[in-house]
Chain A
């Protein structure tokens, strides 16, 4: 990245957030009228969900019952209720007492976002009904009422007066136990929302869920409640980490079947590998397009020493030894690839790593005893990887702990969770150290970094090797979860994550250099293809479009880096001259 890029970033970054949204609202109405209109619209939307929206149960979720909302109606109901509370929380002049905490900023943007989210969800539902059943004729009056009411709400919200952004008033001091209780409640709620999302039984419900959660989250931050919660979690870091871990551990216990537990294990593997890639891309700024190969090396190593009947090695390592072997193999592979390539810069590195990723896949496809030495069974891969048994605990069977049952995938989930936590720890500790700062310095300006005494090649190699090792770790678990490894799991781009392109997308979409970013990005990128089966052929197209939109409107990713947030410390000033380092850069690349 050249400083010129940063300058562009600075421009857009401040452009779409710091500029106060003053001026007249889109629809001119007296403020009180606007508020009443919004409130009535939201109330009407809420009530409409108790009416039937369609006549037949052919549309999933049963939207035909009077007095009992079902399926997508519940989402509209939630959205409308939230909009209503926001209107009340910001009601003139100071908001309804008791509800003010819901919107500490006192701005109407949150209401607007919620109204838009409710409208999007409701209209999406109506369109989905018409599309699935063949025509608007399938809508009952209740459906029309819902659509009109949601539109009224948005109209009202658009007429609400704009207020400039200003610093939040100080939060009311709560006793420490209450703050901790709030954190616990938030995580409980998050778990509930996540379980609901993963458990959505049909594509329409998942889309509605995504729409509503997206808008609600945006509203949460627009209203200032998000900032309040962030402050709280920063103040109680340990509690927050524990709460996150407990939530994650509790997840499989909320599931009755293994179906969704399998999804979440895969998300966890994907997310862990993405976090490993984040060391390479997010911290050191090395564009690695063949990262999935390291996952493959770990998985193949673990499969070979797993005692699988199909393994050509016929040895059975205990799991800890398999993990160490897999990680070590990945490390060696990382160094072997990194040592010659890391002397290259930018684009060249990306192309070479892309090539190496493909070479890995093709090579394991050829090590079948015919076109190469017999090691990996070629395209057939290594099937029948036995379940893990650690200290007599068989991961392949159900275990009962009192009234709780742990299914096989729940076992693997908990094991993978341990590795995810480990990778999170490694990432945060490495990132926040002398080595991590050197990585960021290299990412920012490699010439300046070397002039500050940083051995660029050596540090890039460390980042590359660490990234490879972390992916290898995840690979050893993946082999056992999938029961089989085949070369086609480790492609550059494909419909099923993790592959190199999706890994990179998870990092960039989530937020480079952050911990939560890639985790969230991976969850979204895994769930969306898994839930929206109807997209199938268009999946990569939709994925590309989403990335373009994101880069246009939120180049820093969903979760911006802490450093990016600092941008708003003060009014931005021109950071001085652009890069005249090109001469130096070229010469150094040649040297």
Chain B
């Protein structure tokens, strides 16, 4: 499962990313590389700056220092240009377009990959209709891929929690990204839904999209990731294969707490999950 892919080309390179909010340094000089075909995990205790780091990568925040490079181009700190370049994301606190249908949500995700302007919408020429049809076909395909095909005409806000998270993934995939950023994709899910999401993330990787994922569920991280980085108080503490990270004394002290031996046992998993549920409650405010 964990294949070392250090040989492939980098998709994303973050160099010296620092984010200060007044006196608070939420992210401090973080370097991170995600390579083609990799699933990279980003873990760390609550308030470590993981989400802030994501926001710096996607242009929602302008980093105080540092650069983000996607496939050899330096990204401008503008969210729509980042998405245009090929990075898509989901949000820790679901941010769907609640009053739009499931299909419409995914169609919005296709915005950057289509270019029909206002004039062509008003004239409704054959080119416009072809583009709309193509968008709809692609969206339908993605809904089938994420298992939401039956819900396409429902309002996003009426979906159960787990399906809302999957719809966010479908919406992000609609921009045909080279890199997908997932911010706690299984927060609030039951174990079955979490296992389904694992399968989904693997399938996304197999389709050629690299994934960078923030998660508190250690089983999820160690099952999926080729590479894991640990963020503590805004700084990158350790980075490496899941095995190195989970044996690292500092990580255990700062975050994991209980030492692991190989794959986590049921007791530890339950403990982590309880902690995670607690964390989700706190962060969801």
Bound-state Cα–Cα, A448 to B109, Å: 10
Query: Is B96 engaged at the interface, CB distance under 8 Å to the other chain?
Result: yes
Query: Is B79 engaged at the interface, CB distance under 8 Å to the other chain?
Result: yes
Interface-lining segment among B110-118, B249-257, B271-279: B110-118
Query: Is A180 engaged at the interface, CB distance under 8 Å to the other chain?
Result: no
Known: A434-B121, A444-B97. A456 touches B80 (CB 8 A): yes
Which residues of B lie under 8 Å from residue A383 when comparing CB positions?
Answer: none
Bound-state Cα–Cα, A576 to B109, Å: 21
Residues of chain A from 532 to 577 with CB closer than 8 A to chain B in the complex:
561, 563-564, 566-567, 569-570, 572-577
Which residues of B lie under 8 Å from residue A433 when comparing CB positions?
Answer: 116, 118, 121, 128, 132
B105 CB, nearest partner CB in chain A, Å: 8
Query: Is A424 engaged at the interface, CB distance under 8 Å to the other chain?
Result: no
Interface-lining segment among A117-125, A129-137, A297-305, A581-589: A581-589
Q: Contact at B158–A452, with CB atoms within 8 Å?
A: no
Bound-state Cα–Cα, A420 to B207, Å: 49
Q: Contact at A448–B96, with CB atoms within 8 Å?
A: yes
Query: Is A440 engaged at the interface, CB distance under 8 Å to the other chain?
Result: yes
Residues of chain B from 91 to 136 with CB closer than 8 A to chain A in the complex:
91-101, 104, 107-112, 114, 116-118, 121-122, 124, 128, 131-132, 135
Q: Contact at B157–A10, with CB atoms within 8 Å?
A: yes
Which residue, of A440, A447, A450, has the highest number of chain B Cβ atoms within 10 A?
A450
Known: A445-B95, A447-B95. A455 touches B135 (CB 8 A): no
Q: Contact at B111–A452, with CB atoms within 8 Å?
A: yes
Q: Contact at B98–A430, with CB atoms within 8 Å?
A: no
Q: Contact at B121–A452, with CB atoms within 8 Å?
A: no
Q: Contact at A575–B157, with CB atoms within 8 Å?
A: yes
Query: A450-467, CB under 8 A of B: which get 1 and which 0?
Result: 111111100000100010
B258 CB, nearest partner CB in chain A, Å: 28
Query: B145-185, CB under 8 A of A: which get 1 and which 0?
Result: 00000000111011111001000000110010000000000
Q: Contact at B135–A434, with CB atoms within 8 Å?
A: yes
Bound-state Cα–Cα, A536 to B132, Å: 51
Q: Contact at B122–A563, with CB atoms within 8 Å?
A: no
A584 CB, nearest partner CB in chain B, Å: 6
Query: Is A375 engaged at the interface, CB distance under 8 Å to the other chain?
Result: no
Known: A451-B79, A453-B112, A580-B285. A437 touches B171 (CB 8 A): no
B38 CB, nearest partner CB in chain A, Å: 22
Residues of chain B from 38 to 69 with CB closer than 8 A to chain A in the complex:
55, 58, 60-62
A520 CB, nearest partner CB in chain B, Å: 21
A143 CB, nearest partner CB in chain B, Å: 50
Which residues of A lie under 8 Å from residue B135 when comparing CB positions?
Answer: 434
Q: Contact at A576–B80, with CB atoms within 8 Å?
A: no
Q: Contact at A454–B157, with CB atoms within 8 Å?
A: no
Which residues of A lie under 8 Å from residue B98 when comparing CB positions?
Answer: 3, 6, 444-445, 575
Known: A452-B175, A453-B83, A578-B285. A570 touches B60 (CB 8 A): no
Which residues of B lie under 8 Å from residue A561 when comparing CB positions?
Answer: 99
Query: Is B283 engaged at the interface, CB distance under 8 Å to the other chain?
Result: yes
Which residue, of A466, A566, A575, has the highest number of chain B Cβ atoms within 10 A?
A575
Q: Which of B80, B116, B159, B284 contacts A450 (CB 8 A)?
A: B80
Which residues of B lie under 8 Å from residue A296 when comparing CB positions?
Answer: none
A89 CB, nearest partner CB in chain B, Å: 33
Size range of the chain B interface in the assembly: 35 or more
Q: Contact at B116–A569, with CB atoms within 8 Å?
A: no
Bound-state Cα–Cα, A566 to B157, Å: 10
Residues of A within 8 A of B (CB-CB), count: 51
Query: Is B236 engaged at the interface, CB distance under 8 Å to the other chain?
Result: no
Q: Contact at A6–B157, with CB atoms within 8 Å?
A: yes
Q: Which of A437, A445, A575, A576 contacts B104 (CB 8 A)?
A: A437
Query: Is A324 engaged at the interface, CB distance under 8 Å to the other chain?
Result: no
B112 CB, nearest partner CB in chain A, Å: 3
Which residues of B lie under 8 Å from residue A577 when comparing CB positions?
Answer: 93-94, 188, 284-285
Which residues of A lie under 8 Å from residue B91 when comparing CB positions?
Answer: 448, 451, 581
Q: Contact at B80–A455, with CB atoms within 8 Å?
A: yes
Q: Contact at B114–A569, with CB atoms within 8 Å?
A: no
Which residues of B lie under 8 Å from residue A235 when comparing CB positions?
Answer: none
Query: Is A178 engaged at the interface, CB distance under 8 Å to the other chain?
Result: no
Query: Is A262 engaged at the interface, CB distance under 8 Å to the other chain?
Result: no
Q: Which of A445, A448, A566 contacts B155 (CB 8 A)?
A: A566
Q: Which of B62, B116, B171, B175 contacts A434 (CB 8 A)?
A: B116
Residues on B lying within 8 angstroms of A by beta carbon are 55, 58, 60-62, 78-80, 83-84, 88-89, 91-101, 104, 107-112, 114, 116-118, 121-122, 124, 128, 131-132, 135, 153-155, 157-161, 164, 171-172, 175, 188, 283-285
15 of the cross-chain contacts (CB-CB < 8 Å) are: A6-B157, A433-B118, A436-B121, A440-B100, A441-B97, A447-B60, A447-B79, A448-B96, A451-B60, A452-B88, A452-B171, A452-B172, A454-B111, A574-B161, A575-B157
Given pairs A577-B285, A591-B61, 15 additional interface contacts (CB within 8 A): A434-B110, A434-B121, A440-B104, A453-B109, A456-B80, A462-B118, A563-B101, A569-B154, A569-B155, A570-B154, A572-B158, A573-B161, A575-B158, A576-B94, A587-B61
9 smallest beta-carbon distances between A and B, as pairs = A453-B112, A433-B121, A453-B83, A577-B284, A444-B97, A448-B95, A450-B79, A575-B157, A580-B93
